[in-house]
Amino acid sequence: MQLVNNESPIKNEITLSIIVPVYNEQEMLPIFHHQLEKTLSTLSDHSFEIVYVNDGSSDDSWDVMLNLNSHYANIECINLSRNFGKEAAMTAGIDNAKGQAIILLDADLQDPPELIPKMLVAWRQGFDVVNMKRSARLGESRFKCWTAHVYYRLLDHLSEVPLQKDVGDFRLLSRRVIEDIKQLSERSRYMKGILSWPGYKQTTISFERPERVAGETKWSFLQLVKLGLSGITAFSVKPLRIATWAGALISASAFCYGFWILIKTLAYGEVVAGYPSMMLIQLFLGGVQLLAIGILGEYIGRIYAEAKARPIYLIMDKEKNDIAHSMVEK
């Protein structure tokens, strides 16, 4: 295999950036950081940085971050002006990371840092994207696992971009992929789609996704539905096409049925009957029309958000220790 990512780190050049979006993770952060440092300290040939992005936490996550920053040399802390959502927080991290490779990690240890060396080996072998596939999801309800399973397959089917099934945001991306992703300035940020969009040489590593160590999930069912819808509308126009085809099919059936009624009336005269069938057809058509308008509305809403072109996130503070980054220099 051709080795394309095997340049040795130049002094002060950061090889690896770890991006961690954080929202109300004050109990998790010290445990997470300890675990991450333990893994990173085994990588003697890599210089690294950890980019913590505080996504408008209402607890003391920012202070915990600053405290970590004052004790460790390789941290950058970014404080967003409010809660913009995980997708925006990851974007802020990506825009500020300087590494030749970046890894997106959740702060709750559900994306195990112990897998980082394996991911780096794949990167050094020349892969631009290392996807981490969830072979099992421990500690999550059967309903969530099943809906996630169906959703990933549905989206892959609808999307024009090939999306990896059962792969979350936990992945490694090379610098050239990151530079391409930075050009995708859309407001509707479905990161799993955006991260897959550039393509390049990809490989997949399977892992069992463990349970969250402390705290609780920040996603309610409704938020997951919203994220799911934004994924579909951002990466596919097929629902619009389905609405068009459904409309055409229903119009054709209505025409045939109308023609049959006309013949029947001419042959047998007018019979006043058929109240139930009329109601049924009216309700059905009303429902289909509202659904089609709803689908249109979803897309128009996205166009509206894009037209306003507001920033994806706002940075309130940025803190970084002056101590040099390189593990090699330590």
Shortest Å, Cβ 264 to ligand UDP: 57
Binding flag, residue 111, Mg ion (CB under 5 A): no
Here's the x/- map for ligand UDP, 86-105, by CB under 6 A: it reads as x--x----------------
Shortest Å, Cβ 131 to ligand UDP: 17
Which amino acid, residue 50? I
Binding flag, residue 230, ligand UDP (CB under 6 A): no
Per-residue b or e along 86-105, where b marks 16 or more CB atoms closer than 10 Å to that residue's CB: bbbbbbbbbbbbebbbbbbb
Shortest Å, Cβ 68 to ligand UDP: 15
Surface-to-core class of residue 33, CB atoms within 10 Å of its CB (0-12 exposed, 13-18 middle, 19+ buried): buried
Q: Residue 50 — φ and ψ, nearest 5°?
A: -115, 120
Whether 36 contacts 160, CB under 8 Å:
no
Coil, helix or strand at residue 115: helix
Here's the x/- map for ligand UDP, 22-51, by CB under 6 A: it reads as xx-x--------------------------
Helix runs in the chain, H state only: 28-40, 61-71, 86-96, 116-124, 142-158, 175-181, 191-196, 221-235, 238-268, 275-308
Sort strands 202-209 and 315-320 into parallel, antiparallel or unpaired: unpaired
Which amino acid, residue 151? Y
How far is residue 86's CA from residue 286's CA, in Å, rounded to a whole number? 37
Surface-to-core class of residue 269, CB atoms within 10 Å of its CB (0-12 exposed, 13-18 middle, 19+ buried): exposed
Select from 39, 67, 83, 125 the one that contacts ligand UDP (CB under 6 A).
83
Coil, helix or strand at residue 170: strand
Binding flag, residue 187, ligand UDP (CB under 6 A): no
Shortest Å, Cβ 25 to ligand UDP: 5
Question: Which lies closer to Mg ion via its Cβ, residue 29 or residue 292?
Answer: 29
What tokens were used for 132?
């981490």
Question: Which lies closer to ligand UDP via its Cβ, residue 110 or residue 196?
Answer: 110
What tokens were used for 179?
């530079």
Question: Which lies closer to ligand UDP via its Cβ, residue 189 or residue 212?
Answer: 212
How far is residue 228's CA from residue 232's CA, in Å, rounded to a whole number? 6
Select from 98, 133, 187, 218 the one that contacts ligand UDP (CB under 6 A).
218
Question: Which lies closer to ligand UDP via its Cβ, residue 6 or residue 217?
Answer: 217
Q: Return the range that interacts with ligand UDP (CB under 6 A); candidates 16-24, 112-120, 261-269, 293-301.
A: 16-24
What tokens were used for 114?
């112990």
Question: Which lies closer to Mg ion via its Cβ, residue 132 or residue 327?
Answer: 132
Here's the x/- map for ligand UDP, 103-142, by CB under 6 A: it reads as ---xxx-x--------------------------------
Q: Return the range that interacts with Mg ion (CB under 5 A); candidates 17-25, 67-75, 211-219, 306-314.
A: 211-219
Shortest Å, Cβ 180 to ligand UDP: 23
Coil, helix or strand at residue 245: helix
Distance separating the N- and C-terminal Cα atoms of the chain: 32
Question: Which lies closer to Mg ion via its Cβ, residue 50 or residue 178?
Answer: 50
Select from 5, 18, 21, 47 the one that contacts ligand UDP (CB under 6 A).
21
Residues at the site binding Mg ion, with contacts judged by CB under 5 A: 106, 108, 110, 212
Residues at the site binding ligand UDP, with contacts judged by CB under 6 A: 21-23, 25, 55, 83, 85-86, 89, 106-108, 110, 212, 217-219
